[in-house]
Structure 1
Amino acid sequence: MQSGIGVVHNALLLDGPELTVVRGPFRPAPRSFLHGEPVMSPQPPWFVTNRTAATTGRLLTDFAAAPRWSALPRIFTFALRG
């Protein structure tokens, strides 16, 4: 067996999924700035070094309970500052 044979992790039970390989440079910040690739990727809230994890988690929980468009800018602000 080689990689790409069979169906694994087909959570949506899609018929006939196809293998996709994506290749490209991936350098998360701050290394991306050294190579001239500015990236604005939020740090995951479960990282210990994320400064806004508690606030982002609370905002995401509130949004899951009562979704509304007006809450998204604040969530994005705290997520990107993490």
Structure 2
Amino acid sequence: MAQTPTTYTVDGTAICSKRMSAGMEVQQLADLVGITANYLRKVERGDRPRMRPGPYQALRAALNANKTELLAPHPHPPERK
């Protein structure tokens, strides 16, 4: 059984794009998620690349996002020769 991670590494640019596509201001989304607008701005800028599960799940729900679209892409390991 998979465990819930202690933090999620998020893609601030994707979060910002999704918020703007939804026509929401930073304060509106922050209020829906239960975080401060200042924290959300830091997440969107990439200054805070990790979120705890509760706020991340609330952010996903508020933006109607799937499980992975707000997560930072995982770097691919280098190919072995």
Under a length normalisation based on structure 1, what TM-score does the superposition of the two structures give? 0.27
Q: Which structure: greater strand fraction?
A: 2
Larger relative contact order, structure 1 or 2 (CA cutoff 8 Å, min sep 6): 2
